Structure 1
Amino acid sequence: MLALAMLFPFYWMIVTAFRPAQEVFSGSFNWLPQQFVGWDNFRTALADAPLLRYMLNGAIVCAGVLLVQLATAIPCGWALARYRFRGDRLLFGAVLLGLCIPIQVPAIPLFLGLAATDLLNTYFALMVPFFLSVFAIFLFRQSFKIFPEDIVQAARLDGLSEMAILWQIVVPASKPAIAAFSVFSVTSHWNDLYWPLIVITNAELMTPPLGLASFADPEIGANFGALMASATIVTLPLMILYLFIQRHFIQGVTNTGVK
């Protein structure tokens, strides 16, 4: 029953994408379309809005954010997991505190700073608030704590530097944790509407959630057939991504909970 409750919205989205408009607003409930309109709603979705451009923008933002997050969070997580220094627990406490701060809190200062530097309506404006991920630091710290110390000591005896140990030995062995975080990061920023709605007014830079809003008309209402077809197209890349790395994702989430 729980699986049905989780999957039903996706089922309804796909079924509605093949329904005509009059059937969407009918008062009856049917598991399958009573009148199959084929791919008309999908053609309308691709014709009425540059949906592929929105998806390209989303891919650029997600890839840019993920690369910077990994480049910053992996060394931070390794340092917190393996090195003892004055204030290390206080620093880790600050990381945990950062998990409690939503993007809405620093949104106004970030917006004013980007406006003052004339960086609104850019890819950088879409990405910069998320370059440092405290969740990634926490996740990698938990993962690195269970990495065998004997391997690290052996690498040091072989003359490897600390950064070489991290990037050449630890990171390749931590693919499940990286895959798990990648799913969380890409899903979060692919579906993000709040921040792009603030910093983007140029239609050519809109991300998928902003693009879906173009199917809402205040006068005649939303074209739900085309809207659900667009939602299906936008959701498909995330589903394919998860299918490819689901084994690493499950393993990474499981391992980070083991000390």
Structure 2
Amino acid sequence: MSINRFAPPAAIFRHVVLLTTGTLILIPFVWMVSLSVKPPGEIFREHFSLWPEHFYGIANYTKALTSSSLPHYMLNGVIVCTMILALQIAVCAPAAYALAKLNFPGRNLILGMVLIALILPREVLSLPLFILGYHLGILNTYAALIFPYVVSPFGIFLFRQFFKTIPDDVVHAARLDGLSELAIVWKIMVPMALPAIIAFAIFSVVGHWNSLFWPLIAVRDQNFMPPPLGIMAFKNEEAGNDYGPLMAASTIVVGPLIIAFLSAQRWFVDGLSGAAVK
């Protein structure tokens, strides 16, 4: 039996497309890191150079950490993203369980509303949310950054799809053991859906960590600004943008997200592939 030592053309084409796409995605990040270690005089040179002639990284990163409250902005981002994720799981898991495993009038209608909410841009709701936040008196607080995102249509849909892959016999056995519906959610369904939760956590944290539009509307106090708003502190209307420290600050802000994704990559793929079975 002869062994084909060469990959078929379709596989070669697929890998070429993936490598090309991956390279195009990585170029802005590589350029950002390159600018973060360059002195001002080399940033706008005519000829291209990835590595600087004079390494200026220590000065740029030191200025990024000391000239503004970047560590405090990042702490705000950790607080906001953690609270949003915890509340989203607390709301989305029971809602997804009800849509996946319970029969009640209007279930399909509610699922349809969730699907409609999935395609509805968040920016459409900015004005009503701003007015609601004003009347509730939560603007310029952590609550203004957290509560608009507590209910996640994507989280409900993702968890529902994963819960649908769990056999109904597991739920029936838990009911025979005397567990309530909420106990089934938290003691059985959520632990079994850990890959989906990790995948959703990555989407949630990345989305809200990088969010600029709503925080720009909801907060003005620097004590509550998340990282994207904090990066804007390097903008100077008279002297222009300080690009070296700006790129250094951007690298510091993006770094934790890259590390978190690489650490949870296997669970991320398992969560999405498991939810896609149904």
**What is the CA distance between 1:117 and its match in structure 2?**
2.8
**What is the CA distance between 1:116 and its match in structure 2?**
2.3
Say yes or no: does 1:27 pair with 2:20.
Answer: no
Say yes or no: does 1:17 pair with 2:7.
Answer: no
Q: How do 1:52-201 and structure 2 match up within 5 A? A: 52-201=71-220
TM-score (ref. length: structure 1) = 0.97
- Measure, in 1, the Cα distance between the counterparts of 2:21 and 2:127: 39
Q: 2:221 aligns with which of 180, 185, 202?
A: 202
Q: Which amino acid aligns with 2:90?
A: A
**What is the CA distance between 1:31 and its match in structure 2?**
2.1
- Measure, in 1, the Cα distance between the counterparts of 2:95 and 2:135: 30
RMSD: 1.1
**What is the CA distance between 1:208 and its match in structure 2?**
0.3
**What is the CA distance between 1:27 and its match in structure 2?**
1.3
- Gaps of at least 5 residues in structure 1 are none
Please state whether the residue corresponding to 2:264 is helix, strand or coil.
Answer: helix
**What is the CA distance between 1:151 and its match in structure 2?**
1.8
Structure 1 partner of 2:230: 211
Does the CA contact (< 8 Å) of 2:139 and 2:218 recur in 1? yes
**What is the CA distance between 1:77 and its match in structure 2?**
0.5
Q: How do 1:42-57 and structure 2 match up within 5 A? A: 42-57=61-76
Please state whether the residue corresponding to 2:272 is helix, strand or coil.
Answer: helix
- Measure, in 1, the Cα distance between the counterparts of 2:187 and 2:63: 49
- Measure, in 1, the Cα distance between the counterparts of 2:57 and 2:122: 41
Moved over 4 A (4+): none
TM-score (ref. length: structure 2) = 0.91
Structure 2 partner of 1:36: 55
Structure 2 partner of 1:220: 239
Q: Which amino acid aligns with 1:65?
A: I
Structure 2 partner of 1:237: 256
Q: Percent identity?
A: 46
**What is the CA distance between 1:2 and its match in structure 2?**
1.7
- Measure, in 1, the Cα distance between the counterparts of 2:128 and 2:185: 35
> How many pairs does the alignment contain?
259
Does the CA contact (< 8 Å) of 2:80 and 2:146 recur in 1? yes
Q: Deviations over 1:10-56 (max 9, x none)?
A: 11111111000110011111121122124110001111101000000
Q: Which amino acid aligns with 1:136?
A: G
